[in-house]
Amino acid sequence: MSLDPVQVMKGQDPMPSTCPATSNGDIKASREDNKDTHENVGSTTKPKPPKPENAVTIAVSSRVLFRTEKEQKVFEQKGIEEYLRYQVEHENEPFAPGPAFPFVKALEAVNGRLRELYPESEELFDIVLVTYNHAHVGIRLINTINYHNLFIERFCMTGGTSPIGYLKAWHTNLYLSADAEKVQEALAEGIAAATMFMPEKQIKVSETQLRVAFDGDAVLFSDESERIFKAHGLDKFFEHERENENTLLDHGPLKGFLEVLGQLQKKFYAKGHRLDCPIRTYLVTARSAASSGIRALKTLRAWGLEMDEALFLAGAPKGPMLEKIRPHIYFDDQMFHVEGAVEMGAIAAHVPYGIAQKYPHKKSSNTDK
């Protein structure tokens, strides 16, 4: 199975034919009118977005938030001028939801709960729409956002240039894209990033609880242990982990994102909502629990990070577990595992980081990573 970012989407709802040109309304309305985004469905009143320095900023490419395959073909086959003309001619036709859409809706649901508990706080998710598009396309994107009742006030339309510099200015905590090269560029700049994929038929995900699943090595942790396995084999890997059981693993590219999720979780815990917290995190690793899992758990504990659930699969396929978890997004550094997740209907994202990127992905592999 070979995946191209976002291009595996089939069997989705057809694109609506028209989009009402509604307005996002006045974002400076009083706090009394803005207790919960969900209370304002159908209204022009929207909450005020938080300041970037206070928020958990999620930058999302338009190509993963929405389905733009048709438009991409126009660009590739007919060039930029015809592409821009097409977008203007169809600006009242909303894009259909893409692989990041359920994730963004879940972020907004969490924001609604946070506003109920902390009306004055700006510690919220802030979604920034990032696109290489020319500003002309912005009208269609705004129409689509209003059609789907999303709260996205911040846009970054770069007109074909790299958005990475802007991501740093936004204090971005996570960047999701369909462009693997830009994801690698973001990772090189220290920004958590991943290339998103979507199954042909997506499993239903929760509308009230954000579920985020992480692989361990080369995602939350560094690729130190993976390098031992690649160079010396499984037995040497086990020996290395036993000898270094009390030595913390170094951080990986997604550690910071898990940290901010944990900070928001603690705000719910402080109000007595540990058991019904709208954020739930999962560690899904091919490590074995007894032989190599203890080092991972000790590292997370030393970092002060709580993982709601930890699954040590000892080399077993991850797809069936992810089918049960039903995450809004699952992060893994190996395409083999991303493909396995997609086959089971889960939304997965590839983190192109670490030594595994230099090796082919074989389905017959029975590694401990």
State pLDDT tens for residues 312-355. 998 899 999 999 999 999 999 999 899 999 989 999 999 999 88
Query: Which carries the bigger pLDDT value, residue 40 or residue 58?
Result: 58
In this structure, the answer to whether residues 75 and 191 fall within a common structural domain is: yes
In this structure, the answer to whether residues 67 and 132 fall within a common structural domain is: yes
Assess if residue 13 is contained within a domain: no
In this structure, the answer to whether residues 227 and 351 fall within a common structural domain is: yes
pLDDT at 368 over 70: no
In this structure, the answer to whether residues 186 and 215 fall within a common structural domain is: no
Assess if residue 42 is contained within a domain: no
Average pLDDT over residues 344-369: 72
Average pLDDT over residues 116-140: 92
Number of structural domains found in the chain: 2
User: 169, 196, 223 — which closes off a domain?
Assistant: 196
Average pLDDT over residues 40-56: 70
In this structure, the answer to whether residues 191 and 76 fall within a common structural domain is: yes
Supply the residues annotated as catalytic.
215
Tell me how far apart the alpha carbons of residues 37 and 224 are, in angstroms, rounded to a whole number: 43
Domain that holds residue 299: 210-358
Assess if residue 257 is contained within a domain: yes
Tell me how far apart the alpha carbons of residues 177 and 196 are, in angstroms, rounded to a whole number: 6
Cα 348 to chain center, whole Å? 8
In this structure, the answer to whether residues 145 and 248 fall within a common structural domain is: no
187-226 burial string, b = 16+ CB within 10 Å, else e? beeebbbbbbbbbeebeebeeebbbbbbbbbbbbbbbbbb
In this structure, the answer to whether residues 265 and 334 fall within a common structural domain is: yes
Q: What percent of the chain has pLDDT over 90?
A: 59
In this structure, the answer to whether residues 154 and 218 fall within a common structural domain is: no
Cα 359 to chain center, whole Å? 24
DSSP code string of 219-246: TTB-SHHHHHHHHH-HHHHHHHHHHTTT
pTM: 0.84
In this structure, the answer to whether residues 220 and 133 fall within a common structural domain is: no
Confidence (pLDDT) at 28 = 33
What average pLDDT does the chain have?
84
pLDDT at 75 over 70: yes
Assess if residue 33 is contained within a domain: no
Q: Output the domain CATH number for residue 101.
A: 3.40.50
